[in-house]
Amino acid sequence: MPNFKAEFVKRVLIDEGKRYHKNQGLEIQKRLQFHTKRIYNARSEQVSADNSMDGQLTIKHTAYQRFLDIKRKVRNKKTNRLNQRRYRIHNRFVMGHYYGIANRLMFELTDDVKDAIIKDLNAMSNG
């Protein structure tokens, strides 16, 4: 019998990695009108899974992307006040998809999904 639980975990991680890449890319293109090509193109995601229930979603990006998300103080030249500015392109997506993965792994493995995965695995192994 195929290990449908491991396949389910792998499919969830692949799907969430693609969603993360797409959603974050849209926000990068919207928020950053400067140097977006390097930040946008340097991002990648990879899923590694084995036959156990473990899986790992690895997301790579430039370090500069992370620093853009940190609040920094900027002095307004007209009013001489300090304002905090940041580009919300990292933490918002990482944590949002982290909780999305946890939610999907807890609640989406229904009997229908199980049957569909087993059917797909049997079709792949039979030819």
Q: Residue 45's beta-bridge partner residues?
A: 59
Least confident of 21-25, 55-59, 67-71, 113-117: 67-71
* pLDDT in the model for residue 67: 87
Task: Determine the 3-state secondary structure of 48 from DSSP.
Answer: strand
* pLDDT in the model for residue 36: 64
More confident residue, 51 or 45: 45
Lookup: tokens for 71: 């609040």
Tell me the average pLDDT across 22-43.
Answer: 86
In this prediction the pTM is 0.83
Of the candidates 74, 83, 81, 65, the one whose C-alpha atom is nearest the C-alpha of residue 20 is 65
Lookup: tokens for 81: 């006040």
| 21 burial level (CB within 10 Å; 0-12, 13-18, 19+) | middle
Of the candidates 73, 43, 76, the one whose C-alpha atom is nearest the C-alpha of residue 60 is 43
pLDDT, one tens digit per residue, over 49-66 is: 877 778 899 999 998 888
pLDDT at 88 over 90: no
What is the spatial distance between Cα 102 and Cα 25, in angstroms, rounded to a whole number? 22
Any idea of the CA torsion for 108, 112, 114, 116, to the nearest 10 degrees? -120
* pLDDT in the model for residue 43: 93
* pLDDT in the model for residue 69: 86
